[in-house]
Amino acid sequence: MDHTTLPESASLLPDLYGRPQADRFMRHLTAFGDRYTPALGSLGLRRSPRLPEQPRSLPALVLVVTGHRPVAEDVVELRLADPSGDLLPRWQPGAHLRLTLPSGRERHYSLCGDPADRRSYRIAVRRLPDGGGGSLEIHDELHLGVRLTVRRPRNGFPFCGEQKLLLLAGGIGVTPLLPIAREAGRRGLDWHLVYAGRSAETMPFTEELRALAPERVSLLVGRVPSGAELLERARPGSAVYCCGPAPMLSAVQRALDASPAGALHFERFAAAPIVDGKPFTVQLGADGLTLDVAADRSALDVLREARPDLPYSCHQGFCGTCRVQLLAGTPDHRDRRLTSEERADGALLPCVSRAAEGEHLVLDI
């Protein structure tokens, strides 16, 4: 819809029915707004300074490592507790923690213990030699007694308690499904968990799962199952909860329509990996700071370090929230939101869009 052309005043705003008269309702609204807007800030129409600040969330936790033991090949289990033994904040199945490691690295891990245990949090971490170093630090450098800053639990994989459940775990992706399976058992729901892994030695918590209900757990060991195979146990209306490596999730998504399953839940990981990125530079305004965007980082992440209040949302180039205006330079548009006209006018989504190697983009920020 074209609504770029607004008239000069409310009295010129056309009537809804094409009658040759100004719209009274719109005129009154406009007059109301003209008085209301400047009145705000005067006595009675402003925030009372006597009211206390109301933080939405509580500060991060400082927890101590009370357990650190291998539970499978290349997987350690970590237990975290309050240093003075206080109760920890409650959490619901599917929730995760964000740890700040002694090196300053931040990592997210699903909680895999029992929500009823209010004295400790349990997570499990697979060693990723080619990752960013966070898992190696946890494996090799964290030991009992170390204190970590931990954000309170957040939930990106909430459990909705459907009657028929098919839980699909791939490797370390079993972690959030363990408390979901336990909760399903507690509520008397009909659940089945299919757990795929490279080899039995690399798969943590198999015994614990079997202890919940041996007949409800199937292991697929030593090969990569197809989506159809994973969904074999789906029944009409089953809700599928899937957590595992990206290829497994895509295989399940593709096979979903051909299966009787009704719903698919999965944890969305905001940023997709950067494919074929090259380093380039961005400049904040015509005579502003120039920042380097490394090949493995998004322009948005770099911009946010300089401008923490920059809005953004999806990290995937579809919602358009982070849109900025390009003043100079040739971008490589990678979003799926902007039209060719908008791009021609210089719109750019820095969450995914980049530039050729060595290119310099000047942004109106």
Residues numbered 92-111 forming contacts with other proteins, rule: CB under 8 A: 92, 95
Nearer to other proteins among residue 11 and residue 290 (C-beta): 11
For residues 265 to 304, the per-residue mask of contacts with other proteins, x marking binding by CB under 8 A and - elsewhere, is xx-x-x----------------------------------
Cα gap 306→322, rounded to integer Å: 14
Q: What is the largest distance, in Å, between two alpha-carbon atoms of the chain?
A: 81
Among 63, 78, 125, 239, binds other proteins (CB under 8 A): 239
CB of 183 to other proteins, least distance (A): 12
Nearer residue to other proteins within complex by CB, 77 or 267: 267
Question: Per rule CB under 8 A, is residue 222 in the interface with other proteins?
Answer: no
Cβ-based neighbours of 130, under 8 Å, separated by 6 or more: none
Q: Specify whether the CB–CB gap between 233 and 223 falls below 8 A.
A: no
- Please give the single-letter amino acid code of residue 96: H
118 binds other proteins (CB under 8 A): no
To the nearest 10°, report the CA torsion of 124, 139, 89, 315. Answer: -80
Is 52 a binder of other proteins (CB under 8 A)?
yes
Cβ(27)–Cβ(11) below 8 Å: yes
Does 155 participate in binding other proteins (rule CB under 8 A)? yes
Does 6 help bind other proteins (rule: CB under 8 A)? Answer: yes
Chain positions 312 to 331 lying near other proteins, rule: CB under 8 A, are: 312-314, 316, 318-321
Q: What is the dihedral of CA 355, 361, 364, 365, to 10 degrees?
A: 80
Minimum distance of other proteins from residue 356's CB (angstroms): 26
Distance CA 126, CA 136 (A): 9
Least CB distance from residue 36 to other proteins, whole Å? 8
Query: Residue 323 gets which letter from DSSP?
Result: -
- If the CB atoms of residues 76 and 248 are measured against other proteins, the closer one turns out to be 248
At 332, which amino acid appears? D
